[in-house]
Structure 1
Amino acid sequence: MHLSLSLLLASWSSRLVQGLASNASYYPYPGPVHEAAFPQQQQGPSPVLQSDRPVLPQGQEDTTSIQEGPNGQWLGILQGDIRRERVFDYVVVGGGTAGNAIAVRLAQTGFRVAIVEAGQLYEDLDGGSHTIPGDDLNGVGWSIADASKSGVDWNFVAEPQLGSNFRRMHVARGRCLGGSSALNFMIYHRATRGSMDRWAEEVGDDSYRFDNFLPFYKRSTNFSPPRLDARKANSSAIYYIPRDFDRPGYGGPVQVGFSNYVSAWSTWLESGLKSLGMRREDNYNYGALNGFHYTTTTIRTSDGTRSSSATFVYEAKKQSLANLRVFLNTQATKILFDRYKRATGVEVVHKGVYYKLRARKEVIVSAGAYQSPQLLMVSGIGPPDTLYRYRIPVISPLVGVGQNMWDHIFFGPGHVVKFPTLDHFNANPLEYVAAKAEYRQKGTGPLSSNVPEFLAWEKLSRSYRARFSPQAQRELAYFPPDWPEVEYLSANGFVGNFYNVPGSQPTDKRMYATILGALVAPLSRGNITIRSPSTLDPPVIWHNWLEHRADQEVAVAWFRRMREVWASPGLEFMTEGPEYYPGENFRSDRQILQAVRESLMTVWHPACTCKMGRRGDRTAVLDSQARVFGVTGLRVVDASSMPLLPPGHPQSTIYALAEKIAQDIIRAERGGSGYGRRPTRAY
């Protein structure tokens, strides 16, 4: 979800809402208050991490570099020499979640690496709002008009289809250094053990089994304990288990911790789930999800700001990695091949000027689940019929390119509640002014929250499953026992049908809250194709949400389950009146399914459109080391590479995948891990 509190402040007359929780110090929380976990740990502000505040070495200032924004950061010596053909060892297309990670790891080993990023530095855009956790709700609506407000979004539009009631829906993708890690919910947790073991089985490579993959999860992250002075004791969490992370203060550049604020709604949702017998799950970073927890996030506890994959590049700048170059505002238009079908570089365009970046060793595509398959297709890799239609010479006829798209959707019922939510800012605008001042001064308060601070997962119980058709039960058996079917997210305000959240708020000054329920074991599959032989035209996106009958049955059962939670002993006395949205008149399966179709929204997790697989799998595009079949010198490393979409939120797994493939490359080239070596020479 993305909604800007700055936008809310500017829209008081337009019924601002749907952003952040209100101040916990005067909000009623369910009691009793219990002790915070590990209270002996540091409770004051953590020291600012220098890797997140890089400064150019004296004498190496680059006056042509792009100013990075409110933190005074800039790329300096890493800034690419725009519009000149250059030669690198590796050219990485996409400076997003995976691209920055793999590029910097290769550069740290001594290779010459280029990052090609179509966007710029997100700190410079939208008033710097994307550094603020509470502003992660920017552009949350599915309306196309809502999408145009963000400078870091590609503003893609999905094709209308039955599952979403034929809406043309905005689907966000990050266009900036950091990619979608710069506008996501900052939720960090890891895949289930069973899902990673299934991944290993599907690609025939045991290195993807959870225990073998865990070191790569750890490698990107630097864990910090929560600030117990900022979080309330009744939202305590088991926050550090040594097997999950390296010791606090060690590890990679991406900061992982807990938000400096928890809303009243999160604690009341916890109360409701507890009263129905759900247990807390503390192993959500160690292969288990079923249960509830306060989630870890990619938020710096020191100052309450977002930590994205751009921190890899900022760390590289601090290390003066002169063998890394970042080309901002530069879009890849085509992968170049020689007559032996070896990738030799990338054609790019910057402000209308086309030129080439050559790769001595490999091109690594990290453009995301929509644009990685698009770039492959316009370069001659994909379904032959599609390539023939646009007169693109066929390099490798892979029918799986752009197919097999997984995604998660969410939706949910909303109620009027008896405790303050973000609607408090509607009724009392000065409270928002105070919250903003607190955030600027201390990095705490509502703006320091990513909003869905509380999550839960479960497989639906027997009482719900008994109503599933035999076919649905057979299809759902694909998922391992520890793979949940549904996820709860605390939404601290009114969401409704997701059209345009700030402009669609109730005007009665009451408080609203929503349980957002996500389907995380989907069986419907979408696809991506091209509309022209140019990457400058957006891809054609077919999500096909709810196309599979089993997904429809799970969605209806899930909606009924969320209503059960609202009516639970731990929550029902905090609601006022009947269900506000969609309303109690939606009772039958058919009516509920219609309500879901009218209101569902993507959770922005498209994946698997260039999936890994075994060589005999016709739908596979990559081998288990992310190498594209039918050519050499080309890999795809991002969410599109995955053979399946693990339950929950994939950010952590994408970082880990980039770390793993980087290690595969380095070991093949140099032997050993190779990490930590200085560049052999600058250029």
Structure 2
Amino acid sequence: MTDLQKTDFDYIVIGGGSAGAAVAARLSEDPTVEVALVEAGADDRGVDEVLQLDRWMELLESGYDWDYPIEPQENGNSFMRHSRAKVMGGCSSHNSCIAFWAPREDIDEWETRFGAEGWNSEMAFRLYKQLESNEDAGPDAPHHGADGPVKLMNVPPSDPCGVALLDACEQAGIPRTKFNTGQTVINGANFFQINRRPDGTRSSSSVSYIHPILERKNFTLLTGLRARELKFNDANHCTGVDVVDGQFARTHTLNARTEVILSAGAIDSPKLLMLSGIGPKEHLAEHGIEVRADSPGVGSNLQDHPEGVIQWEAKQPMTETSTQWWEIGIFTPTEDGLDRPDLMFHYGSVPFDMHTLRQGFPTTENGFCLTPNVTHARSRGTVRLRSRDFRDKPMVDPRYFTDPHDMRVMVYGIKKAREIISQPAMAEWAGRELYPGPDVQTDEEITEYITKTHNTVYHPAGSVRMGAYDDGMSPLDPQLRVKGVTGLRVADASVMPELTTVNPNITTMMIGERCAELVREARAASGADTAAAGAGV
């Protein structure tokens, strides 16, 4: 932990993850303001298992993982856990660094359907260009040659099983395509783009935004400090945060002269808001927490990408090297007339038996898998407090497959995976189907298998959504300001009104970029107002 020699700042960012690191770095570009970035986890510098992208699977359920269990599921796998990163960079230091621009339709919907004024694809695509460097996208891409901090690259086609899989996709009517060109891919497949540097270092938000600015005199990084409660004055203005030193269990108060930005993620941001008296009043009352702002949408609208798995033994030895072991994406619609795909697959060149082995399915040391996931699941869950003790893990209830749409897409996905792998191009690779196996064929049998064994792509979102100013179920306005108080914004995946079709990490960084712009605009407006008042205007 950085020594607490200073406790007063202009801006305090709580959470050094995908969005928080971007917010703090951009705000500290102004040398006239003092910015603190507060992270509960460890510094990532010098930690090879975090920095080296091909080691990401070691981080699941490790000391760098908050490892949140989920509540018992009526239609889903109650053994499932939500991995949330406990380290600088947040989930961008913990994930497989699959890098996607969201489809235009996703971001435009935030504005047109949910009332988040100003959040549209024109704004988002401008900020995608700003945050990344992506010469591999090709000369026709709208962001070719940009010089942002996050480095993107194409996964090289060096996995022969993966190349055969793409051939099989073409034989099944799913063509090879390019990702991140600015065009929405409804039906297509290819090796991913990933945010990784040439030496194998992940281009996480910490590596990209924070490592280069650690010597800035107006920037302070505080790790190992866990937020306990947001602080407010009598006018309900957020004045800072109480944090607990993880090493000595001492409480300190950090003071914000201007604003606090909460970037703790889709599980911990609603938790901290509720601990601070902002949330559904009935739920807060259950835990004896005084209501500061009755906000029923805090902790509601929780969304995710639920994921199934179908695994084969490989007839040939699988690759022993990889950028991150999950290198190909496949998109395809399950019905006609969609403007975005409702089904996505990740291809893994490694076994994935996290939830199948306990159910008695066979496994292998040499195999490959496809993991169908529902891009726009309609089931909605909640994040709730387990108690008023900040140390207790929250109650995370995704309510998987409570909307029948989601299981319909997943069942289709298992069948589509079999269709792809049955193509001639995979004949030299595809051995025995291990799970669900040839005995699981009917919709009912596949449904039972999915219910018992499904996982998640670890994409919780939407639990503190932004929306129209008069939308009582949107805790945030389109400026990311928390309704009912002042001096407090939220910037992370929790603000998404609807989860993106694709892996959302780059979009979460984009949210951080936009939040920094909104804060700077507010500061500039405040300065103009002060100057006008001083001039007697």
Shorter-chain TM-score above 0.5: yes
- Residues 516-574 of structure 1: per-residue CA shift (max 9 Å, x gap): 11111200011100011132111111011111111122221221111111212332453
- 1:241 aligned residue: 139
1:417 to 310, 314, 321: 314
Match of residue 132 from structure 1: 52
Cα pair distance change 1:538/1:355, threshold 3 Å: same
For structure 2, list consecutive stretches of 5 or more residues without a partner in the other structure: 527-537
Q: CA deviation at 1:575?
A: 2.2
- Between Structure 1 and Structure 2, how many residues are aligned? 520
Question: 2:530 — aligned with what?
Answer: none
Matching residue within 17, 23, 26 for 1:105: 26
Match of 1:355, SS?
strand
Is residue 84 of structure 2 the alignment partner of residue 177 of structure 1? no
Deviates more, 1:590-599 or 1:261-270: 261-270
Identity of aligned residues (%): 29
TM-aligned CA deviation for residue 658 of structure 1: 0.9
Structure 2 residue 260 is matched with structure 1 residue 363: yes
Residue 671 and residue 614 in structure 1: after superposition, are their counterparts in 2 closer, same or farther (change >3 A)? closer
- Letter in structure 2 aligned against 1:255: K
Deviation at 1:152, TM superposition (A): 1.3
Q: With structure 1 as the length reference, what TM-score do the two structures score?
A: 0.73
Query: Any conservation in 2 of the 1:496–1:581 contact (CA below 8 Å)?
Result: no
Equivalent residue number for residue 120 of structure 1? 42
Aligned mate of 1:486, from 324, 340, 343: 343
SS class of match (1:278): coil
**Separation in structure 2 between the aligned mates of residue 369 and residue 287 of structure 1, nearest angstrom:** 28
Q: 1:183 to 1:244 in 2, by over 3 A?
A: farther
Q: Is the Cα contact below 8 Å between 2:155 and 2:191 reproduced in 1?
A: no
Look up the equivalent residue of 1:628 and give its one-letter code.
V
| Aligned partner of 2:396 among 541, 547, 562 | 541
Indicate whether 1:214 and 2:125 are aligned: yes
Q: Cα distance, 1:295 vs. partner?
A: 1.2
Contact conserved, 1:361 with 1:633, CA < 8 A, in 2?
Answer: yes
Q: SS where residue 191 of structure 1 aligns?
A: coil
* Partner residue, 2:353: 496
> Does structure 1 conserve the Cα–Cα contact (< 8 Å) formed by 2:157 and 2:191?
no
How big is the shift at 1:306?
Answer: 1.0
For 2:150 and 2:179, the matched residues in 1 are separated by 20
What amino acid maps onto 2:40 in structure 1? A
Check the 8 A contact 1:493/1:513 in 2, yes or no: yes
Question: SS of the residue aligned with 1:208?
Answer: coil
Higher deviation after alignment, 194-203 or 607-616: 194-203
Residue in 1 that maps onto 2:331: 457
Residue 338 in structure 1 maps to residue 233 in structure 2 = yes
Query: Which amino acid is the alignment partner of residue 197 of structure 1?
Result: D
Which secondary structure state, in structure 2, belongs to the residue aligned with residue 585 of structure 1?
coil
1:580 corresponds to: 434
Contact 1:194–1:481 at 8 Å: present in 2 too? no
Q: Look up the SS of the partner of 2:69 in the other structure.
A: strand
**1:161 counterpart letter in structure 2:** Q
Structure 1 Cα separation of the partners of residues 173 and 9 of structure 2: 57
Q: What pairs with 1:398-437 in structure 2 (closer than 5 Å)?
A: 398-421=295-318
Rounded to whole Å, the distance in 1 between the matches of 2:179 and 2:327 is 16
Which residue number in structure 1 is paired with residue 67 of structure 2? 155
Equivalent AA in structure 2 for residue 95 of structure 1? G
1:651–1:185 distance in 2 versus 1, CA, 3 Å: same
Q: Write the letter of the residue equivalent to 1:649.
A: N
Distance 1:416 1:586 in 2: 17
Contact 1:202 1:614 in 2 (8 A): no
Cα distance between partner residues in 1 of 2:205 and 2:225: 18
Alignment match, 1:298: 195
Q: Secondary structure at the match of 1:552?
A: helix
How far apart in 2 are the matches of 1:580 and 1:540?
Answer: 34
Residues in 2 aligned to 1:504 and 1:112: alpha-carbon distance in whole angstroms: 55
Q: Distance in 2 between matches of 1:618 and 1:188?
A: 33
- From the superposition, tell whether residues 413 and 660 of structure 1 become closer, same or farther in structure 2 (CA, over 3 Å): same
Q: Structure 1 645/609 Cα, relative in aligned 2: closer, same or farther at 3 Å?
A: same
Q: Which residue matches 1:94?
A: 15
Task: Give the residue type in structure 2 aligned to 1:131.
Answer: L
Match of 1:515 among 352, 355, 370: 370
Q: What is the correspondence of 1:221-260 to structure 2 with a 5 Å cutoff?
A: 221-225=132-136, 239-241=137-139, 243-247=141-145, 250-259=146-155
Distance 1:500 1:588, change over 3 A: closer
State yes or no: 1:329 paired with 2:224: yes
Per-residue deviation, residues 255-280 of structure 1 (Å, max 9, x unmatched): 11124563222112101110012123
Alpha-carbon shift at residue 246 of structure 1 (Å) = 5.0
CA contact (8 A) 2:168 2:426 kept: yes
Q: Which amino acid aligns with 1:132?
A: Q
Contact 1:258 1:299 in 2 (8 A): no
Alignment partners' CA distance in 1, 2:357 and 2:441: 26
Range 400-409 or range 270-279, more displaced = 270-279
* Contact 1:254-1:309 within 8 A present in 2 as well: yes
> 2:333, 2:343 within 8 Å by CA — same for their partners in 1?
yes
Q: Which position in structure 2 is the counterpart of 1:614?
A: 468
SS of the residue corresponding to residue 434 of structure 2 reads strand
Q: CA deviation at 1:455?
A: 0.7
Unaligned runs of 5+ in 1: 1-65, 67-79, 141-146, 226-238, 426-445, 463-479, 673-683
- Name the structure 2 match of 1:679: none
2:512 equivalent to 1:658: yes
Which range moved further: 648-657 or 552-561? 552-561
CA distance in 1, matches of 2:50, 2:510: 23
Superposition RMSD in Å:
2.2
Of stretches 263-272 and 366-375 in structure 1, the one that deviates more from structure 2 is 263-272
What CA distance in whole angstroms lies between the structure 2 residues aligned with 1:650 and 1:560? Answer: 26
* Deviation per residue, 1:353-381 (Å, 9 max, x gap): 10111011111000000000000000000
Give the direction of change, closer, same or farther, for the CA distance of 1:283–1:263 in structure 2 (3 Å limit): closer
1:23 maps to none
- In structure 2, C-alpha distance between the alignment counterparts of 1:500 and 1:576, rounded to whole Å: 19
Q: Is the 8 A contact 2:71 2:395 kept in 1?
A: yes
2:35 and 2:219 in contact (8 A); partners too: yes
**Match of 2:447?**
593
Residue 268 of structure 1: SS of its match in structure 2?
A: helix
Distance in 2 between residues matched to 1:295 and 1:188, nearest whole Å: 7
